[in-house]
Amino acid sequence: MRITVVGSINLDLVATAPRLPAPGETVTGAALARYPGGKGANQAYAAEKLGAEVSLIGRVGNDAMAGEALALMSELGVDLAGVEVDVAAPTGVALIAVDPTGENQIVVAAGANHLVTPEQLPQRIEGALIVQLELPIETVEAAVGRATGFVCANLAPAAPVSEALLRRADL
């Protein structure tokens, strides 16, 4: 099965702490880890792991974080030809604080993700399409409008979308 994912690519900086901070509070004793992330990249990675042929369309910065953000997908064989490098914006980053129970707080600095435009998309997107809302809404809606097959729209993070997108989405 062929799947195109139009979505975000981030480097996640995850601090696992004894507890989450209250507003204005500093909590010490955390362990820091770095992981490839972004809803789009995570979806592309998962679909490829499940046996699909996956193409990812997105944008990263011209920085060291881009390589880290794309490494696992590249190793797995996700087609990254649709990922453009932006010289003016950094790769997206998610700052994630996690407590021992798995509760988290997430702040996303979208960076190059917010510069993915409809012009970056092919005129027709063949096969299945997966989108989410970590890119500009007009780009997501353009991708859905160009899809010829099954469309999965993950409406997170929550944002207003058009009736046309909702009608076109199969899932």
pTM of structure: 0.93
Digit-coded pLDDT (tens) for 10-24: 999 999 999 999 999
* Spans of all domains in the chain: 2-9+39-89+111-168
* Tokens coding 54: 């996956």
Closest of 169, 155, 115 to residue 139, by C-alpha: 115
* Tokens coding 107: 């702040």
Quick one: how far is CA 2 from the chain centroid?
18
Reduced to 3 states, what is the DSSP secondary structure of residue 162?
Answer: coil
Note the residue count of the chain. Answer: 171
Digit-coded pLDDT (tens) for 40-89: 999 999 999 999 999 999 999 999 999 999 999 999 999 999 999 999 99
Sign of CA dihedral 159, 163, 166, 169: negative
Asked if residues 93 and 11 have their Cβ atoms less than 8 Å apart, the reply is yes
Measured N-to-C along each axis, helices 39-49 and 64-76 cross at an angle, to the nearest 10 degrees, of 20
Digit-coded pLDDT (tens) for 114-167: 999 999 999 999 999 999 999 999 999 999 999 999 999 999 999 999 999 999
Closest of 21, 91, 33 to residue 59, by C-alpha: 91
- The CATH label, of 1.20.1290.10, 3.90.79.10, 3.40.1190.20, 3.40.50.300, for the domain at 2-9+39-89+111-168 is 3.40.1190.20
HSE-up (13 A, CA, CB side) for residue 104: 14
Closest of 114, 88, 91 to residue 37, by C-alpha: 91
- In angstroms, the CA 142 to CA 57 distance is 13
